[in-house]
A and B are shown apart, each in its own frame.
Chain A
Amino acid sequence: MGTDLAPTEIIALAEIVDDLDYFQILHLPRSASIGEVRKAFHFSSRAFHPDANRHLPSEPRCAIEKIARRVTEAYSVLRDPRRNRAYLQRLEAGKGKRMQLAEAQAEAGRQAVEEKGRTPQGRQYYSLAEADTRRRDFAAAARNLQMALTFEPDNELFKAQLKEARDQT
């Protein structure tokens, strides 16, 4: 295991790695699913994880370590659907290829709040349904989601959760 690249190639890759976007780093199309992101992360880690490259001389090893840090960074952003979406928006807006994790997290948080309801009533019934689901009381969850949907009929998250709750009962 470890990388097949020659030391000079490793050093060259480390130099350009900041010009690559996270999809390029993981060799993924922008449409990749979360499962594919995870597989790609494992694949890249096999090659670049510092544990797998202990035997390299110091210069290429430092370079590998930098690449490995970018691989995990890419994974940390792309493995979460909301962060992934925020990153795609960033790329499309041409705002740079690296995204601060804190920023990705903040964006994801904003999306999550929106998904959980734009209206106070929608949010309230949705949070009741969440508590029901944790208790595994799916019938009650379905009732609360139904109520949430009367306030926000087009909320995709509510719809998906309702379907899931019904499947469970």
Chain B
Amino acid sequence: MSRDLSPPAGSAEPEPPLIAAAFPDVSGCPVARQHHLGRWTAVVVMLVLLGLLGHAFAIGQIEWVFVGRFFFAPVILWGLLNTVVMAVAAMALGIALGILTAVMRLSPNPVLQATAMGYVWFFRGTPVMLQLLLWFNLALVFPAIGIPGLWEARTVDVMTPVMAALLGLGINQGAYTSEVIRAGMLSVDIGQYEAAKAIGMTRLTSLRRIIFPQAMRVILPPLGNEFIGLIKTTSLASIVQFAEILHNAQNIYYANSRVIELLIVAAIWYLIVVSILTPLQHLLEKRFSRGAGAHR
């Protein structure tokens, strides 16, 4: 039997509310402004540091007119275009290889699994600069390449700086991208694979229609990271004479000795390209968040 908590029947006055008796009434009190003391201290410290830095650059030996003069120099813009196009092409190759490798790695076929693991092992295990040099010097190993009877060429003619940069960067990127994609595939609930099978989908159809669209939410943030990294790694391709922006900036300062000014030009262009990418990534992420609760 439950206890009866109501006042006994017939009692004239109701009991006073319990809370009001025990605690002061705060319902009418305004909320005082918070004093963000730590925040203001940080602002002051940062302003002082920025001032010092600005002063150092102002009295430092930088001829800012040269930064302005070379910012839109055709050689720099050509290098910028090469950098961006190479980064996009190498990323495309990297994503294609990454998808292939991740799918192989998660396939039930042990030969495919081992091949995928070997690829990732080699290309993640050696420096990308070394790989660029290997591709560029491929002619030392294979003087001629081709498909017997169909097509043949001298390796030195094929392995141009562009080709060496694309293969070196793209194949290296594929090894890293495959791990990002594999993580995304593993993040999708096993019940999704089974539901796809249960409606009669083959493995490839279920990957394309069910698994990848869901994995994209996990894949995109690190993939954006990878792409931003690749844009800057493209500068390593100057070692195989690829005319990317840093390479071209160097060529100019070898001639005129405005080293810092040209490095600043290149740095600003890198920052601009990366800044454009961030909102693009957000757009893509939004596109692939279909059906995810609003709280994600």
Q: Are A and B interaction partners?
A: no
- Residues of A at the B interface (CB closer than 8 Å) are none
